[in-house]
Each structure stands twice: as C-alpha cells, then as structure tokens.
Amino acid sequence: QQQVKQSPQSLIVQKGGISIINCAYENTAFDYFPWYQQFPGKGPALLIAIRPDVSEKKEGRFTISFNKSAKQFSLHIMDSQPGDSATYFCAASRNTGNQFYFGTGTSLTVIP
Amino acid sequence: EAGVVQSPRYKIIEKKQPVAFWCNPISGHNTLYWYLQNLGQGPELLIRYENEEAVDDSQLPKDRFSAERLKGVDSTLKIQPAELGDSAVYLCASSVKPQGYEQYFGPGTRLTVT
C-alpha cells in the first residue's frame, strides 16, 4: 500500500511559471514531510521540509503548503527555471524520523 | 564535508551471479540506510542501521540479500544470487541521530542483471 500518493507523474512548465506538485497521506502519525530533488544519475537531495505545526514554509523560490485536516501537502516552485528540471519526490516520516515513505515522483520539465 | 560515497556506480552482471555494493556514509553519521529505487519510482527502504545494529530489515529479501556494517561506519549490501528483477538503483543514505530527519543520499549504484 502506497503510504504517500504523489501527483502529477509529469509536469511541463514554461520558464517563469509556477510548478505545483501535490502529495497526500493517510497515516496521521507522520510528523515530518520533506521534498527531495533528484537529477539523473544523482541521489535525491533534500530541498525543503515541513512539520505539521505550520501551514507553510518558504525557502527562496520553493514553498511547501501543508493542510493537516486534508492530509495533503504540496510543493510550489515560483519563477520556474530550466535548471529546476528534475524529478521531485515527496516523503513522510513519523516518530524519530527514521522510517521514510516516498511518493512515486514527479518529473518536472521547465521549457525555456 | 565529503558526501555519502558509493561504489561501484554501475554494475552489469548475469543472473545467478553474486554482486556487492559498498557505502561510506558521512563522517559522524550513526544511521545508515540502504534503499532500492526502481525506474520511475521513489526509494524504498531495504535496511536501516543504527551504528552497527540493523534496527529495521523488514523489507530486505533475506533469501538472497544480506548487509553488514561491521564497525558502524561503512556498509556492504550483497545479492546472491541476482535475479533479473533486481535490476534497479541501490541508494545509500546516512543521517545523524537523534537528528535523524535529514537524510543525505549517495549517488547510487545502478545494477543491471542480464
């Protein structure tokens, strides 16, 4: 059973546009929600993360919006750039953060 | 600070052959993870170590997979014998306990079984 459901599977955005990726979870014990960015041939790299005590976290052009009641969270990439083209994974973790569940990934292509 | 190091980066073997992957985590990171990543999918945990102890190996197919982290630093993941379905990327990650939330991933080993 997929613990974290991610959509869309792929996304094409014009340069300067907003990229939005969504994730949903069921387990209310999850208490840490990171987003990872992965380039071809590389391992995932932590991009930004949020805990359920806040509804939004912003770091530069990247923002996580978190809706605890709906059990959903999303990644917004503002002013998307061609260099943002990568695969993005959401994840969720509980308790001490040692058990992570990843979404299936979103392949983002930013067109110049 | 050096990142997580994995070797080899690529490996091609015939089915039924053994294969081993090596991981050196970031210095001082007590927790080490091995993940399996199939094409187009997110990483799936195989095993997690706290120092030299395997604290979660529930997803490790123990009939053919084994892992060790003898001195609580680097780790080896072995498959014997390999099957066609084992073709995937094997990722190693590490984190600092108790701040175990932030994981740092290595570049992975891409295994192709023919």
Residues A73-92, mean pLDDT to the nearest whole number: 97
Q: Nearest residue on chain A to B42, judged by CA atoms?
A: A104
- What does the alpha-carbon distance between residue B62 and residue B5 come to, in Å, rounded to a whole number? 25
Q: Is the minimum CB–CB distance between B57 and chain A shorter than 8 Å?
A: no
- Residue bearing the bigger pLDDT, A31 or A72: A72
Helix (H) or strand (E) holding A76: strand A72-77
Q: Nearest residue on chain B to A39, judged by CA atoms?
A: B107
Please list every residue in chain A whose beta carbon sits closer than 8 Å to the beta carbon of residue B49: none
Cβ contact (<8 Å) for B100 and A97?
yes
Query: Which parts of chain B register pLDDT below 50?
Result: none
- Candidates B79, B83, B42; CA nearest to B60 is B79
pLDDT at A95: 66
**What length is written for chain A?**
112
pLDDT at A97: 56
pLDDT classification of A22: cutoffs 50, 70, 90: very high
Q: Is the minimum CB–CB distance between B38 and chain A shorter than 8 Å?
A: no
Q: Is the minimum CB–CB distance between A1 and chain B shorter than 8 Å?
A: no
DSSP string, A1-38: --SEEEE-SEEEEETTS-EEEEEEE--TTEEEEEEEEE
pLDDT at B100: 56
Which of B50, B100, B108 has its CB closest to that of A43?
B108
- What does the alpha-carbon distance between residue A19 and residue A12 come to, in Å, rounded to a whole number? 8
pLDDT at A25: 96
Cβ contact (<8 Å) for B101 and A42?
no
Return the residue matching tokens 């290595």: B106
